[in-house]
Amino acid sequence: MCVSCLSEAGVKNPNPRKRKKQSLKLGHGGTLDSAASGVLVVGVGNGTKMLSTMLAGSKKYVAVGELGKATDTLDATGKMVLEKDFEHITRVDIEEKLKSFTGDIMQVPPLYSALKKDGQRLSVLLQKGHKVEAKPARPVTVYNLTLQEFKPPLFTLDIECGGGFYVRSLVDDLGKALSSCAHVKELVRTKQGQFTLEEHALHEGQWTLEHVLRSLQPCSESETGTKPSKEHTD
C-alpha cells in the first residue's frame, strides 16, 4: 500500500523502509450471512469511526425464497426440519400477506445469527451443541416490500428495510402466514446506507490492489467522531 494511502487511512508517519509494524484498523458496517452476497461496507483507519454515520439510512435486499421446506437456519445452508404442501398458494396470496409485514412490525431474530449471549454468537453456541433460547421479538421497520417473481415453489422479494431486520425471519414468517413453510434460498444485499451494489461494488475482475486503493473514500478528522456500527443483520 502506498504511503499517501496509509496517511489517508489514518496511519501516522508511515514509512515503508522501517521494519516496525504499522497498525491499520479495519471495520465493517454489519454482518452478512455466510451464504449471502452483496454490499458490505468496510472502513479503513479513521474510516472505521465513520461507519455509523455513513451507513445511516435503509438497506435493500433481493431474496429468493422457497416454499414447502423449512430449515433450522431459515436458509439453504441448514438442515430441513419441516416439509409442507404449497400448491394452494397463489401470487395474490403472497402479495396480500406481504402487506402485514410492511411498516413498523415486531420480528423475532433467527436462532442462527450473529447476536450474542454471554459474549458468544448464538450460531456458534448452537454449533457447539448448546441449548439456545430465541431472542424476544423487537421492533423493525420495512419501508418497501414487493413480490418480483413467483414461480412455485420459488418466489423473489424486493425488500427495503431499516437496521436490525432479518430477511430470513421474514421469509420464515411469510411461509407460516401462508399455511405452509419457507426458507431463504438466495440473498443479495443491493444497498447499505449510501452504498449500492451497482455503483460501489468491485467486480471480481477488479480485485486488485490498484482498484481497491482507488475505491477508498478519504475522510477528514472532523468526520470521525462516531464509532463503527455493531449492528448485525443478514
Domains and CATH numbers, the chain: 58-200 (3.30.2350.10)
Per 3-state DSSP, what percentage of the chain is helix, strand, and coil (rounded to 5)? 25, 30, 45
77: left (phi over 0), alpha (psi -120 to 50) or beta: alpha
How much is the pLDDT for 123? 57
- The cell for 103 is 411498516
Residue 33 among the catalytic residues: yes
How much is the pLDDT for 220? 57
- The residues pairing with 66 across neighbouring beta strands, listed in sequence order, are 154, 183
Q: Give 10-residue mean pLDDT values along the chain (234 residues).
A: 46 56 72 83 78 82 98 93 98 98 95 64 61 80 98 98 94 98 97 86 75 70 46 53
> Against a cut of 0.85, is the pTM above it?
no
How much is the pLDDT for 103? 98
- The cell for 63 is 431474496
CA distance 110 to 177: 17
- Which residue out of 33, 75, 173, 234 is catalytically annotated? 33
Q: Quick one: how far is CA 26 from the chain centroid?
A: 18
CA distance 162 to 42: 19
67: left (phi over 0), alpha (psi -120 to 50) or beta: beta
